[in-house]
Structure 1
Amino acid sequence: MAVNPLQRIHTAFAQAGATGWLHAVDIDTGAEINAGADQPVVTASVHKLCLLLTVHQHAEQGPLDLTEQLECPPDGRTSGPTGLSAMLDPVRISVRDAAYLMMAVSDNAAAELLLKRVGLDAVNTTTQRLGLTRTHALRTFAQTLATIREDAGPDGAQALTDPHVIARLRALDPARTNHSTPRDMTRLLTAIWRDEACTPEHGAAIRRLLGLQVWPHRMASGFPFDDVHVAGKTGTLPTLRNEVGVIEYPDGGRYAIAVFTRAANPAATLPTIDATIGTTARIAVDALRTRQQ
């Protein structure tokens, strides 16, 4: 007898040493797979998708030009391992190219440039207008990183392997940091793919950027096919590994998926959990596609 897909999803999370929450929905029929869809979760860099939509809505409405140039001096630049965050010299970049870096390599400095341009309140207005009532940004990305440094104490990054330190990080508590639910995130993706969140022109631009993300180790790992397109955005903090995205099949099937995980092991590198995001997404999509047959 076939194993229930929800059971397979929960088993995959458990075998990887993680707690996980997943929601998957067929964008065209509304059929869903619910494995903790309404659990409050920390978004981490997944919230950059909300910022990206806000940028494009402002461009659509007129107060912002996507070709506008932004200055990014090295002093005070938001830390991070990629993009502008890792660069040493002054940078001048357009709004749309900063958005590319923010989504393709999760560049924190690029995200801060865009947040300074549109404001954190505008990001929350965007999600509220879409009815994402359980999605809210409390801090900028730079502020979130600052709370981790403060909560880690004098031992810095080395302390982030200590479970007692992990337990006190505000950045890992949905009630005290940027948060959402898996269901809210699939609603957001569905609105973008249906051109309900902004005009078709801006929706296409957002979908393009999500398709340019460079990380293949999470959701994309579950769909190793040349004719299946994966567009997504990851999010990572100590013990947290997330990704939300849309899987598009050559027959026209479109599936919005949100996967959020928390590991028991505080190690910075846990490939098994990364791969489990792809595994569970694939289980969910296969179940949705089987229902269509």
Structure 2
Amino acid sequence: MSRSEARAGGGAAERAVVDRIRAVFADAGCTGWLHARRCDDSAAEISVGGDERVVTASVYKLPLFIAFCRAVDAGRIDPGARITVVPSDCTPGPTGIAVLRDPVTISWRDLAMSMMTVSDNAAADVLLGEVGLAAIDELLAELGMTETRIVGGTADMHDSLVRDTDTHTTAEAFAALADNDEAWSVSAYDPSYSSATTPAEMTGFLNALWSATILSPAQTEFACAVLRSQVWSHRIASAFPHRDIAVAGKTGTIGIIRNEVAVIEFPGEIPVAVAVFTRAARPDPVLPAVDAAIAEAARIAVTDLRRPVPE
């Protein structure tokens, strides 16, 4: 049992929760890391390797998004200002502006919305170019997130995949990674070389956002609303399929990496932040069993931490 698991497992009940979560990951054929905490001052937590560094994949868009909101608060970016994005000049991707054929004129605010709600790669790289890595580093340092680093955007990650797989295009690189007859060791899978974090730092980040300590009230409201609007329901959201429960999250996927971080909001209860990161044994492009494991692990952890709002 790791240090983080031992800290969470102070009693038999807590250890049983950790064991159940580890069994879920094992049954799905993946390695998993998880951390969950209530969005309050409580020290209660559930941790399965929660202090270990993991690859962010598109979860990096969350600190980029909050850095954008801080730039709006500081007056450095006018959220309503318009920008024209040429899709053919951007990072390819399966969603948003990345799949379009013609130039799009859009506000910075709506560009950020597209980045977060559908994980738009083109929107993310344009936004990163405007916000800058230095602003993200400043945000992370201010929050004491010493194990989290963002080394670049989606374009940088795709370039590294092409180099590491000795291919010519992003499509060829992803096709190579999906071949079960090949065993690839690429930098995008290694938290020492790619954008990385820990599950515990990500739940701390979400807790800070929900506690309204890092943004103005207006930008806090905007950021939380955007996270609640994510369209993907195949991971954590599938564990809470009830109309009165809000799941505000961000997924991340690349090859064998499948992640999601989210805040679960039950009526009349303290919100619970949960971060789940996985690395699958197989490189199949679609692995429903791993997606389901992310949901089930989150459900187990969140259920254990649920508490009513104090009167």
Fold conserved (TM > 0.5)?
yes
1:102-135 Cα deviation digits (max 9, x unpaired): 0010000001111111111211111111111111
Distance apart, 1:157 and its partner CA: 2.9
Aligned counterparts of 1:156 and 1:231: Cα–Cα separation in 2: 31
- Compute the TM-score of the two structures, normalised by the length of structure 2: 0.90
Matched, 1:119 2:149: no
Q: Give the alignment of 1:250-289 within 5 angstroms.
A: 250-289=267-306
Aligned counterparts of 1:158 and 1:191: Cα–Cα separation in 2: 39
Q: CA 1:35–1:236 in structure 2 vs 1: closer, same or farther (change >3 Å)?
A: same
Distance apart, 1:162 and its partner CA: 4.3
Give the aligned partner of residue 57 of structure 2.
44
8 Å contact 1:120–1:140 — kept in the other structure?
Answer: no
Q: 2:156 aligns with which of 143, 152, 163?
A: 143
Q: CA RMSD of the aligned region, Å? A: 1.9
- Compute the TM-score of the two structures, normalised by the length of structure 1: 0.95
Matched, 1:242 2:259: yes
Give the aligned partner of residue 173 of structure 1.
190
8 Å contact 1:227–1:250 — kept in the other structure?
Answer: yes
Paired residue secondary structure (1:70): strand
Distance apart, 1:31 and its partner CA: 1.3
Q: 1:16 aligns with which of 24, 28, 33?
A: 28
Runs of 4 or more above 6 Å deviation:
290-293
Distance apart, 1:167 and its partner CA: 3.4
Distance apart, 1:289 and its partner CA: 2.4
Paired residue secondary structure (1:45): helix
8 Å contact 1:166–1:238 — kept in the other structure?
Answer: no
Give the aligned partner of residue 215 of structure 1.
232
8 Å contact 1:26–1:32 — kept in the other structure?
Answer: yes
8 Å contact 2:36–2:45 — kept in the other structure?
Answer: yes
1:234-278 Cα deviation digits (max 9, x unpaired): 000010100001001112221000000000011010001101111
Give structure 1 stretches of 5+ with no counterpart. Answer: none
Distance apart, 1:163 and its partner CA: 6.3
Paired letter, 1:226: R
Identity among equivalent pairs (%): 43
Give the aligned partner of residue 210 of structure 2.
193
Give the aligned partner of residue 94 of structure 1.
107
Distance apart, 1:213 and its partner CA: 0.3
Distance apart, 1:210 and its partner CA: 0.4
Distance apart, 1:168 and its partner CA: 2.3
8 Å contact 1:151–1:165 — kept in the other structure?
Answer: no
Paired residue secondary structure (1:235): strand
Distance apart, 1:165 and its partner CA: 5.8
8 Å contact 1:19–1:261 — kept in the other structure?
Answer: yes
Paired letter, 2:176: A
Instruction: Report the number of matched residues.
Output: 293
